[in-house]
């Protein structure tokens, strides 16, 4: 399989090259040149995530050197529960994606990407691979956890200082060793811009071997499709109906994976993007021109994105903006609504939700109020304990952190301040960790 740039100006490359590069040479994002097609029957009676992912991704890995390792990569990276739980209200489920080591859905993709990149590194040139990751809170931890202590790789995490939850900040600085945390004096989009510029910098990429692990990375998008395949297949087998998904969205990587799972043939109904007060996507889906803008800080901080990086991929998949708008709907949710959904979810659904998942709960309730009785899964993207300081005033008792998160919170933590300045960032990279 060849992978092509969304901008169409770069030479198509094979899977390993697309995974290592992060961005295509023309600044675009990689997508497969063709998509395989599947029916539910193609998955026979598979129910486990690693096997489903292996079957799903085999055509994309087919002629690549990584092909032989795909079963092991899936078995090691995707050994994380993704339960689809019925909620105590008609036709409504919750897809829990927070059972990985850093308690957010980013673990699935970060571990898969790490499995691929570490094998590519081991097989290739000896220079250390420097992985740049801009994070709005959860990606950095998932990538740090996936690469911590691994030889031949260094991870640079850039996060917006003061704009992640205290527990997220602690996690980001707690890996030590080959994982360096930089707290940037700026917002998430500034962090993302520094990373993108570095990856496009001919001088820097000649001197250092760079890659990225952001949601722009193909190696994150692909494995994220697998839990939508698993959940929709399970639902189809049990009920004979398509399942819709309401996806808390920022950079649009997770929701795009749901959309791709539907495009390749899985029985998936409506896909609803739940945004916070950052309205770039909701305005677009309401008919306005796509207008990236500065991100604003909200309680759902991992979605504080004003320039969603995967929008370029979404647009590349369709012939026109009208065609994009026909595929998805989007809802914006403000902080007051997030607070109120956190408070009411405990009584209404018997579950405590994180501020991101709360956006999806609000979007669900708007659909229900509008008379939509379809089958929906609210996608729960992080464990509520990561956001204890937001939740504590709103509910009786914040759930305890799951064991892996609790262990990280016991470790010492250190992050270095970095000005929002490209040359300062380059100097830091040249100087090493």
Tokens of 299: 């309680």
Taking the complex as a whole, the smallest distance from the CB of residue 176 to ligand PLP amounts, in Å, to 22
Tokens of 224: 């994220």
Q: How many CA atoms lie within 13 A of 357 on its CB side?
A: 31
Taking the complex as a whole, the smallest distance from the CB of residue 426 to ligand PLP amounts, in Å, to 26
Which residue from 106, 119, 154, 196 is in contact with ligand PLP, where contact means CB under 6 A? 106
Single out the segment in contact with ligand PLP by CB under 6 A; choices: 144-152, 231-239, 242-250, 329-337. Answer: 242-250
Taking the complex as a whole, the smallest distance from the CB of residue 382 to ligand PLP amounts, in Å, to 3
Residue with tokens 């920022």: 250
Single out the segment in contact with ligand PLP by CB under 6 A; choices: 23-31, 78-86, 135-143, 192-200. Answer: 135-143
Q: Among residue numbers 211 through 230, which ones bind ligand PLP (CB under 6 A)? A: 215
Residue 252 sits in the site that holds ligand PLP (CB under 6 A): yes
CB closer to ligand PLP, 104 vs 429: 104
CA 409 vs CA 142, 169, 383: distances in Å: 14, 10, 14
The Cα–Cα gap between 270 and 39 comes to 18
Per 3-state DSSP, the chain is made up of helix, strand and coil in percentages (nearest 5) of 45, 15, 40
Q: Among residue numbers 42 through 101, which ones bind ligand PLP (CB under 6 A)? A: none
Taking the complex as a whole, the smallest distance from the CB of residue 396 to ligand PLP amounts, in Å, to 22
Which residue from 52, 60, 104, 229 is in contact with ligand PLP, where contact means CB under 6 A? 104
| Beta pairing partners, 30 | 5
Single out the segment in contact with ligand PLP by CB under 6 A; choices: 70-78, 143-151, 245-253, 316-324. Answer: 245-253
Residue 251 sits in the site that holds ligand PLP (CB under 6 A): yes
CB closer to ligand PLP, 106 vs 119: 106
On whether the CB atoms of residues 133 and 198 are closer than 8 A, the answer is no
Taking the complex as a whole, the smallest distance from the CB of residue 263 to ligand PLP amounts, in Å, to 17
Residue 254 sits in the site that holds ligand PLP (CB under 6 A): yes
Tokens of 122: 């081991």
The CA R_g of the chain, rounded to the nearest whole Å, is 20
Tokens of 207: 């001197």
| Beta pairing partners, 275 | 332
CA 245 vs CA 53, 231, 255, 273, 393: distances in Å: 19, 10, 9, 9, 29
Q: Which of 241, 179, 149 has its CA nearest to residue 159?
A: 179
CB closer to ligand PLP, 16 vs 276: 276
Taking the complex as a whole, the smallest distance from the CB of residue 155 to ligand PLP amounts, in Å, to 17
The Cα–Cα gap between 257 and 92 comes to 21
CB closer to ligand PLP, 184 vs 255: 255
Residue 302 sits in the site that holds ligand PLP (CB under 6 A): yes
Which residue from 77, 194, 268, 303 is in contact with ligand PLP, where contact means CB under 6 A? 303
Q: Among residue numbers 323 through 382, which ones bind ligand PLP (CB under 6 A)? A: 356, 381-382
Q: Torsion angle of alpha carbons 358, 379, 252, 416, nearest 10°? A: 70
| Beta pairing partners, 5 | 30
The Cα–Cα gap between 130 and 178 comes to 10
Residue 248 sits in the site that holds ligand PLP (CB under 6 A): yes
Residue 253 sits in the site that holds ligand PLP (CB under 6 A): yes
The Cα–Cα gap between 276 and 297 comes to 9
Taking the complex as a whole, the smallest distance from the CB of residue 302 to ligand PLP amounts, in Å, to 3
Single out the segment in contact with ligand PLP by CB under 6 A; choices: 43-51, 252-260, 290-298, 342-350. Answer: 252-260
Residue 274 sits in the site that holds ligand PLP (CB under 6 A): no
Q: Which helix (H) or strand (E) holds 164?
A: none
Tokens of 98: 């927070």
- Where along the sequence are the contacts to ligand PLP (CB under 6 A)? 104, 106, 137-139, 215, 248-255, 302-303, 356, 381-382
């Amino acid at each position: 399989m060849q992978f092509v740039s969304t901008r169409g100006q770069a030479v198509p490359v094979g899977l390993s090259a697309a995974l290592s590069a992060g961005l295509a040479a023309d600044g675009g994002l990689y997508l497969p040149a063709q998509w395989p097609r599947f029916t539910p029957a193609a998955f026979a009676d598979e129910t486990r995530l690693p096997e489903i992912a292996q079957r799903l991704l085999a055509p994309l890995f087919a002629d690549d050197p990584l092909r032989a390792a795909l079963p092991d990569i899936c078995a090691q990276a995707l050994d994380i529960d993704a339960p689809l739980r019925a909620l105590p209200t008609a036709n409504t489920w919750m897809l829990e994606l927070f059972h990985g080591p850093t308690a957010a859905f980013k673990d699935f993709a970060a571990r898969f990407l790490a499995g691929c990149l570490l094998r590519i590194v081991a097989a290739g040139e000896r220079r250390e691979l420097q992985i740049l990751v801009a994070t709005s809170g959860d990606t950095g931890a998932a990538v740090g956890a996936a690469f911590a202590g691994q030889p031949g790789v260094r991870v640079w995490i850039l996060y917006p200082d003061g704009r992640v939850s205290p527990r997220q900040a602690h996690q980001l600085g707690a890996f030590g060793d080959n994982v360096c945390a930089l707290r940037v004096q700026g917002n998430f989009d500034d962090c993302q811009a520094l990373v993108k510029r570095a990856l496009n910098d001919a001088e820097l990429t000649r001197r250092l071997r760079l890659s990225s692990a952001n949601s722009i990375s193909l190696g994150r998008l692909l494995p994220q499709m697998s839990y939508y395949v698993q959940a929709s297949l399970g639902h189809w087998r049990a009920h004979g109906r398509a399942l819709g998904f309401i996806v808390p969205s920022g950079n649009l990587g997770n929701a795009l994976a749901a959309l791709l799972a539907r495009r390749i043939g899985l029985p998936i109904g409506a896909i609803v993007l739940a945004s916070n007060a950052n309205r770039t996507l909701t305005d677009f889906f309401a008919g306005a021109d796509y207008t990236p803008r500065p991100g604003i800080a909200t309680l759902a901080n991992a979605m504080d994105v004003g320039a969603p990086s995967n929008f370029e991929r979404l647009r590349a998949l369709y012939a026109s903006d009208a065609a994009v708008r026909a595929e998805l709907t989007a809802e914006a949710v403000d902080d007051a609504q997030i607070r109120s959904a956190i408070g009411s979810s405990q009584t209404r659904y018997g579950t405590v939700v994180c501020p991101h998942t709360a956006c999806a709960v609000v979007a669900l309730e708007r659909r229900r109020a509008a008379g939509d009785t379809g089958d929906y899964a609210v996608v729960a993207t992080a464990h509520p304990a990561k956001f204890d300081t937001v939740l504590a005033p709103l509910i009786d008792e914040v759930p305890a952190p799951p064991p892996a998160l609790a262990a990280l919170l016991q470790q010492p933590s250190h992050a270095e301040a970095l000005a929002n300045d490209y040359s300062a960032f380059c100097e830091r990279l040249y100087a090493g960790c």
